[in-house]
Amino acid sequence: MNIGIVCYPTFGGSGVLATELGKALADKGHNVHFITYQQPVRLTGFSANIFYHEVRVPTYPLFDYPPYEAALASTMVDVVKNNNVDLLHVHYAIPHAAAAYMAKKILLKENKNIPVITTLHGTDITLVGRDKTYAPVVAFSINQSDAITAVSRNLKEETYKIFDIEKEIEVIYNFVDIKRFARKPIDAFKKVIAPNGERIILHASNFRKIKRIPDVIRIFKIINESIPSKLLLVGDGPERPMAEDLCRELDLCDDMRFVGKQQDMEEIFAIADLFLLPSEYESFGLSALEAMAGGSPVVASNAGGLPEIIRQGENGYMSAVGNLHQMAQYALEILKDEDIYQQFRVSAKKQAERFDIHHIVPQYEKLYEKCLQAFSVV
């Protein structure tokens, strides 16, 4: 099967999921064509079945904002025509679903009809997508897709609440490659972060307001006042300068490290003792799942799709958004007792196994085959 995957190439969850899906499909013998404006950050190494097609957006003095959607649609048409692509799988509705609709209409004029599958990831529906500037186009382009998937039941329900969606949305969860995260911690790395055996608290995100970075730091302060600990903040984004200011204000700089964007997250998850995710909303919580795959219990907000992966009192705890004291107490309950901590670690890994890549990728393959069969009948 020749599959076109359209995604954002950045560190966000949608781009990570799309890239890992494409790599897994290629390992199973499919030809995968990535279509995006730069090489995805997780697309490393060489595979004979993976092809990367860069979307080039010309710049002209006339344009204050270069028309990326038009360039993307044209690139999709070119890739489909010249590589015998069987279907397009677009990740994140904005602007990929709309561009895919344009590409499909152009291809139909040339007697080429292929299915378009749209996977919804979260903020393309709950935040950006519901903005009235984009909402009509988002709803229309989703409805024009031949199949729609969402990464959690919560996101499926939210999509139906926000938009008038006329088609069935299939839930196919995010996944994690268990083998990739089943690494032993690098002792030298751990000693650099926690030279005296302190507990390592980890947070990883794109540092947007919805992630509530100040909550991460204030929760850590409560933990740090009770047990020796270090906070490792992975990622970057608009909230980082404010987070650095808060670190200095609370006199926590000696116990916190900002390490920026990182690609080899499995090595970082391997040294973490606990993962904090007090977000305002998470459609799924891929970073929490990756943390569990690495053996880290998770303390998070009870928001969005997180209850679909966190089992309260087994592999982590959830509290109401903004309840920093309770989150800190939950963290201390896990970290203070080694026996309890080890039980949570085992449960975290066991839960992550339910979302292993080998369980989830066949669900996408089944959907692809279903769509192709429907088109062959028409």
Residue-level pLDDT at 40: 86
Handedness of CA 322, 348, 228, 207 (dihedral sign): negative
Residue-level pLDDT at 129: 57
141: Cβ contacts below 8 Å, ≥ 6 apart: 93, 97, 98, 100, 101, 118
Q: CA-CA distances (angstroms) from residue 101 to 51, 104, 122, 234?
A: 22, 5, 20, 36
pTM: 0.90
| CATH superfamily, with its number, for domain 2-175+357-377 | Glycogen Phosphorylase B; (3.40.50.2000)
Strands (E) across the chain are located at: 2-6, 31-36, 50-54, 87-91, 116-120, 147-150, 169-171, 199-205, 229-235, 256-260, 274-277, 298-301, 316-319
Are residues 111 and 85 in contact, defined by beta-carbon separation less than 8 angstroms? Answer: no
- Domain coordinates of the chain in residue numbers? 2-175+357-377, 178-353
Asked whether the domain spanning 178-353 has the same topology as the one spanning 2-175+357-377, the reply is yes
Identify whether 95 is preceded by a cis peptide bond (ω within 30 of 0).
yes
Closest CA relative to residue 121, chosen from 19, 39, 260, 53: 19
For residues 231 and 216, what is the distance between their CA atoms, to the nearest angstrom?
9
Residue-level pLDDT at 298: 98
At residue 259, φ and ψ (nearest 5 deg) are -110, 5
Residue-level pLDDT at 377: 52
106-165 pLDDT, tens digit per residue, is: 999 988 999 999 999 887 777 765 778 888 888 999 999 999 999 999 999 999 998 989
Write out residues in the chain with pLDDT < 70, as ranges: 11, 128-129, 377-378
Q: What is the CA radius of gyration of the chain?
A: 21
Q: How many CB atoms lie within 10 A of CB 99?
A: 25
For residues 237 and 208, what is the distance between their CA atoms, to the nearest angstrom?
6
Residue-level pLDDT at 11: 66
Q: What is the CATH number of domain 178-353?
A: 3.40.50.2000
